[in-house]
């Protein structure tokens, strides 16, 4: 059983728990099944790669974003900072995500 993933690719989020607490970044990818997401320049992990000249890979240490559990991040509201979401139905029947604190629509 998992919680609903309300955070989407390209959202601006803040890390609220863990090693990178306080960091802000853009969501690169969301994996709802694993309940994780990847945030630009956050939770960087080192990967050692072997040189492979046929693929033009030099080898060495490569840094890339590691997965973060969705419960460890919060969407950023430009007025309130890290916040929780609420869904509201608009007149046309389309659902939008709004900030629970100020009611601002957070969908672009």
Chain residues in the site for Zn ion (CB under 5 A): 77, 79-80, 99, 101-102, 104
Nearest distance from C-beta of residue 62 to Zn ion, angstroms: 37
Element housing 64 (H / E): strand 60-65
Nearest distance from C-beta of residue 99 to Zn ion, angstroms: 3
What tokens were used for 80? 């309130």
Which of left, alpha, beta for 68 (phi over 0: left; psi -120 to 50: alpha)?
beta
Q: Which is nearer to Zn ion, 41 or 95 (CB)?
A: 95
Q: Which is nearer to Zn ion, 36 or 75 (CB)?
A: 75
Cα torsion angle, 62, 19, 71, 90, sign: negative
Nearest distance from C-beta of residue 46 to Zn ion, angstroms: 36
């Amino acid at each position: 059983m998992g919680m609903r993933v309300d955070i989407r690719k390209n959202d601006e989020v803040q890390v609220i728990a863990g090693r990178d607490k306080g960091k802000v970044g853009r969501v690169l990818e969301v994996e709802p099944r694993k309940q994780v997401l990847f945030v630009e320049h956050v939770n960087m992990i080192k990967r050692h790669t072997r040189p492979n000249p046929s693929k033009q890979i030099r080898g060495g240490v490569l840094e890339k974003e590691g997965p973060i559990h969705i419960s460890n991040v919060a969407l950023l509201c430009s007025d309130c900072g890290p916040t929780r979401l609420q869904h509201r139905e608009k007149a046309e029947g389309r659902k939008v995500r709004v900030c629970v604190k100020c009611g601002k629509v957070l969908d672009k």
